[in-house]
Amino acid sequence: MARPLRAHIPDALYHVMSRGNARQQIFIDTSDYKCRMMQQLNSSYSQRFNHRHRQVGHVLQGRFKAPIIDGDDYLRRVVRYIVLNPVRAGLATHPGDWLWSSYRATAGLETPAPFLALDAVWSAFDQDAALAPSVFAAFVAAGTAPGDCLTDPIVSGSPALRARVAAALEPHRDARDIVCAERFACRPPLAQVIGNMADPAALDREMWMAFERYGYSAGEIGKFVGRPAATVWKRIRRVAERCAAEWTAPAKIEI
């Protein structure tokens, strides 16, 4: 069975990451650190790693993660979190001592590698490119703060960003070939989906919509409408069976 697709939002900013399987070390020597990776590259790197180090089995813990983040404030915090990772892990006493991150180039301590684009990062710290490296270094020196490590696996940012992502995902809510967590990201609250409590037929359709299109559980819906989860499930199934028989689905609501 093919892997579910990932949702991609045009011009969005992603924080992309991978983790070693069972938190194992995935970079053993200098050659490993020089081999960068992502998506198909993850697979290639895993094969290379196992071949070089005479290992078998999984190297990485599942697929790479790529939450969407806001620019400026969120970007600044994510960048700080990334460059301080080696310090937190006890691999270096200062981020500038770690050769395998972009800290030294971003702080203006060395010439950026050809593949490293720093303009967007620098502009998040200061519009003056000459001042941005020192502002970045000072921000990192201030240490981590609550919120630097993002907890939302899909979207972390302002209400405006979440609204933009919700609008982009809306046409794909029914696409079962997209990862469920992304399909249902930034979904509208139940109060916005279910509004016809007095009309049983309309309520059934809206409960079906909440379950099928926005990923709410029967328990969540039942708590909202004041009915047992089992009753909600029966009513949802009834709508689904009717739709299947008629080859039509309830009209999509406008969000």
Backbone angles phi, psi at 69, to 5 degrees: -130, 160
User: What pLDDT is stored for residue 223 in this prediction?
Assistant: 95
- The verdict on residue 234 lying in a domain is yes
Q: Give the structural domain span for 207.
A: 188-255
Query: What is the average pLDDT across 162-179?
Result: 82
User: What pLDDT is stored for residue 204 in this prediction?
Assistant: 93
Query: What is the average pLDDT across 217-234?
Result: 95
Determine if the pTM surpasses 0.75. no
- Transcribe 85-116 into DSSP letters: HHHHTTS-SSGGG-TTSSHHHHTTSSPPPTT-
- The verdict on residue 226 lying in a domain is yes
User: What pLDDT is stored for residue 114 in this prediction?
Assistant: 85
| Tally of domains in the chain | 1
- The verdict on residue 241 lying in a domain is yes
Name beta bridge partners: 177: none
Residue 33 in this model has a pLDDT that exceeds 50? yes
Give the C-alpha separation, 15 to 28, whole Å: 24
DSSP, collapsed to helix, strand or coil, labels residue 42 as helix
Confidence band of 38 (pLDDT split at 50, 70, 90): very low
- Transcribe 8-28 into DSSP letters: --TT-EE--B--BGGG-----
Give the C-alpha separation, 135 to 3, whole Å: 42
b/e string for 123-134 if b means 16 or more Cβ within 10 A?
A: ebbeeeeeebbe
How buried is 200 (Cβ within 10 angstroms: 0-12 exposed, 13-18 middle, 19+ buried)?
A: exposed
Confidence band of 182 (pLDDT split at 50, 70, 90): confident
- The verdict on residue 135 lying in a domain is no
Spatial contact of 150 and 78, defined as CB atoms under 8 Å apart = yes
What is the residue-averaged pLDDT of the chain? 79
97-144 pLDDT, tens digit per residue, is: 998 889 999 999 999 988 888 998 999 999 998 999 999 999 999 987
Confidence band of 247 (pLDDT split at 50, 70, 90): low
205-217 pLDDT, tens digit per residue, is: 999 999 999 999 9
Confidence band of 203 (pLDDT split at 50, 70, 90): very high
Q: How far is CA 134 from CA 108, 128, 215, in A?
A: 8, 11, 46
Closest by CA position to 76, among listed 116, 131, 152, 135: 135
Closest by CA position to 215, among listed 188, 235, 255: 188
- The verdict on residue 136 lying in a domain is no
Instruction: Tell me the range of 42-56, 145-159, 165-179 where mean pLDDT is highest.
Output: 165-179
Spatial contact of 89 and 27, defined as CB atoms under 8 Å apart = no
Give the C-alpha separation, 121 to 133, whole Å: 9
- The verdict on residue 244 lying in a domain is yes
User: What pLDDT is stored for residue 51 in this prediction?
Assistant: 52
User: What pLDDT is stored for residue 97 in this prediction?
Assistant: 94
- The verdict on residue 170 lying in a domain is no
More confident residue, 67 or 133: 133
More confident residue, 233 or 69: 233
